[in-house]
Structure 1
């Protein structure tokens, strides 16, 4: 019995000083080669990795991000002009691999998406995106709407987004209804993406 207690106390001594850590980097040129090991703040118990592909007109860019997270579901989100895939894990430095490139293989699901003129664009969802989403927020007193496709796991995540008053997910093709929007929806998109990427 004394041996068991001694082993238990020894185990506690060795694990008491251990802090949870993840790889961290921000690759805005499509790669994440400058990875460092980061000790996560208290309450951050997951490691995340994301890959975002942005296409606006003829301009395309890819960004990769890794960091500690409080809550980070695996899956993807597609807003038409930007598509992000997320990978999440819960062991030390488990995010060494980059999140996969967002899938481009259509899955038959369709949702509405927004641009600077309207929210009646029909978007083909791909990969694990099995829900439609709609998020609203305000910028300078102006109401803004963002819509697109999203994975169920992201809808189920219990996180709140700064500058976003209301976000909802729904099942069924085009269930996030066509509706006109005001300008500056890009600000809301950036807030939504940055929160997801940095939380």
Structure 2
């Protein structure tokens, strides 16, 4: 009889469900020292940590972020003016550690990247970035973002709203140079915010 009661209580515990949670923070000083536990919304079953390093001229900034995600992959992405490393995991509160700083050690791979004027800049990929990518979007016009990315991120099922054509390719400079429109920064920011808020 006691065994039946124990099994029934265990069934009730499992039937009521368990809320999936992740650590959450955003820190502009380069460390997520003050992180909170957040119950993830429905559809989010992964936790993510990101480290983004942005370089504009002589000014450099590092942002550490932790959050819930519906889909993500571990790896890195390099847009030229910014590099991001991603750590993705799928257990409760698994994103306790910060994502490492993105590698800046060239790996021999080269891809095109864009700035406000053109998409013919040649970018040296680093770390695990073994693919080139191109993404286009429609934010008040057609804009393009190009750079280096890890294969794992290319294979991720995540999609970015308002980005019609995102593709990855192998081989040096396989994401061919093209001109860019004035809304480049909107697409670039949208991709970054999607990654941060996914």
TM-score, normalization: structure 1?
A: 0.93
Question: Could you tell me how far apart the structure 2 residues matched to 1:11 and 1:150 are?
Answer: 45
Give 1:116 shift: 1.0
Structure 1 gap segments, 5+ residues each: none
Give 1:184 shift: 2.5
Answer yes or no: is the 8 Å Cα contact 1:53–1:84 preserved in 2: yes
Written as runs of structure 1 = structure 2, the 5 A alignment for 1:38-117 is 38-117=38-117
1:118 matched to which residue of 2?
A: 118
Change (3 A) 1:45 1:103: same
Question: Could you tell me how far apart the structure 2 residues matched to 1:46 and 1:122 are?
Answer: 34
1:176 matched to which residue of 2?
A: 175
Question: Could you tell me how far apart the structure 1 residues matched to 2:104 and 2:12 are?
Answer: 49
Give 1:8 shift: 4.3
TM-score, normalization: structure 2?
A: 0.94
Q: Please list the CA deviations of residues 20-65 of structure 1 after superposition, one character each: whole Å capped at 9, or x if unmatched.
A: 1110011123222220001111221111010000001111101111
Question: Could you tell me how far apart the structure 2 residues matched to 1:116 and 1:42 are?
Answer: 38
Question: Could you tell me how far apart the structure 2 residues matched to 1:122 and 1:6 are?
Answer: 68
Question: Could you tell me how far apart the structure 2 residues matched to 1:7 and 1:74 are?
Answer: 40
Answer yes or no: is the 8 Å Cα contact 1:53–1:61 preserved in 2: yes
SS in 1 for 2:192: helix
Give 1:197 shift: 1.6
Written as runs of structure 1 = structure 2, the 5 A alignment for 1:10-25 is 10-15=9-14, 16-25=16-25
Question: Could you tell me how far apart the structure 1 residues matched to 2:32 and 2:178 are?
Answer: 38
Does 2:159 align with 1:160? yes
Question: Could you tell me how far apart the structure 1 residues matched to 2:195 and 2:7 are?
Answer: 39
SS in 2 for 1:60: strand
Structure 2 gap segments, 5+ residues each: none
Answer yes or no: is the 8 Å Cα contact 1:163–1:191 preserved in 2: no
SS in 2 for 1:182: coil
Give 1:18 shift: 2.1
2:193 matched to which residue of 1?
A: 194
Q: Please list the CA deviations of residues 150-176 of structure 1 after superposition, one character each: whole Å capped at 9, or x if unmatched.
A: 011111111221231211000111000
Does 2:134 align with 1:134? yes
Give 1:68 shift: 0.8
